[in-house]
Amino acid sequence: MSALFSPLTLRGLTLRNRIGVAPMCQYSAVDGQANDWHLVHLGAFATGGVGLVISEATAVLPEGRISPADLGIWSDAHVPMLRRITDFIHAQGAVAGIQLAHAGRKASTRRPWDGGGMVSEADGGWPVLGPSATPFAADYPVPHVMSGADITAVIEAFASGARRALAAGFKVAEVHAAHGYLLNEFLSPLTNDRRDDYGGSFENRIRLTCEVAAAVRAVWPDEAPLFVRISATEWANGGWSLEDSVQLAVRLAALGVDLIDSSSGGNVAHQQIDVRPGYQVPFAARIRRDAHVPTAAVGLITEAAQAEAIVANGEADLVLLARELLRHPRWALEAAHALGATGDWPSQYLRARLRPS
């Protein structure tokens, strides 16, 4: 039996296999609203046989968007179209998840194909927030240092976003604390130089992430899993480390977090990443082993045998793919064939089902 195609149960939810879609920003929303692009984009992965489809980073506040074209969940008006998408995903036998996010100092930027960099307020941008007043890079906006009231508002926005996500039909919630966005900025000693209860010591720097996770867990159903995505290392001297990630994972698990989605980098422009196939898998394996919490592995996982080995060897409980699924939306069905497992082909596509050789 294939380990990759064995079911995974977290709380009261069972995924049909261990393959998931990692959040991938589409920069295709207007005023935070999902549209037909998102339906077709996410729906294709569900028909392609994956177990879990996680939406792109979905902003809990308008100023928490990476770009003006990001998805949002700060308004009840966002719920109906998202519900249409989750209904379709679930009808295909997959599970819909949502990544709740706030971009912090990396907000108010142009879409990648528009060149990136800051969007000025005159061109539709907005003031950005962060733990400290240091911009991500020279062409990024300078953040306003968050007050206590700002922090409270963000925590409440994550909880409200989770309530709307539930109304929209999502069955998994993921808190985005990676890639240099707001929560990651608070975690890192390289980007958090505060001298209050949210800066300085490790305990203070993890406080906001823990408070957000607790707030989301409080409104998220007991039977529904909660994930947190972290950057397990910053790839920069003096920054957040894998050892820090293990300690954070222990704290988050105690708060009711069910899985740590183990990515890396993105918080500082001077990072030096050692990119190679499966380069982030050891982070998931270490956190799983030492924090005793389920993990997801991500990053240049492209081959069926590679993904199978990750799960079979106990390095992670779930494998999340991104760019490889953009290239091959039915990767899971092809992987099932390669591994001799049974893939969940839609009835409409059975005529094309791969047969054992």
Beta carbons within 8 Å of 6's beta carbon, 6+ residues apart: 17, 18, 311
The neighbouring-strand residues paired with 14 are 9
Beta carbons within 8 Å of 124's beta carbon, 6+ residues apart: 68
DSSP designation for 319 = E
Q: Is 68 exposed, middle or buried (0-12, 13-18, 19+ CB in 10 A)?
A: buried
Quickly list H helices, 57-147: 79-91
Residue 75: both structure tokens together: 């308004």
C-beta separation of 217 from 211 below 8 A: no
DSSP designation for 351 = G
**Nearest Cα to 236, choosing from 264, 208, 261?**
264
**Nearest Cα to 51, choosing from 287, 313, 317, 263?**
317
Active site residues: 181
**Coil, helix or strand for 274?**
coil
Beta carbons within 8 Å of 348's beta carbon, 6+ residues apart: none
Beta carbons within 8 Å of 92's beta carbon, 6+ residues apart: 43, 46, 47, 344, 346
Residue 47: both structure tokens together: 């028909």
d(CA 174, CA 290): 21
CA atoms within 13 A on the CB side of 192: 30
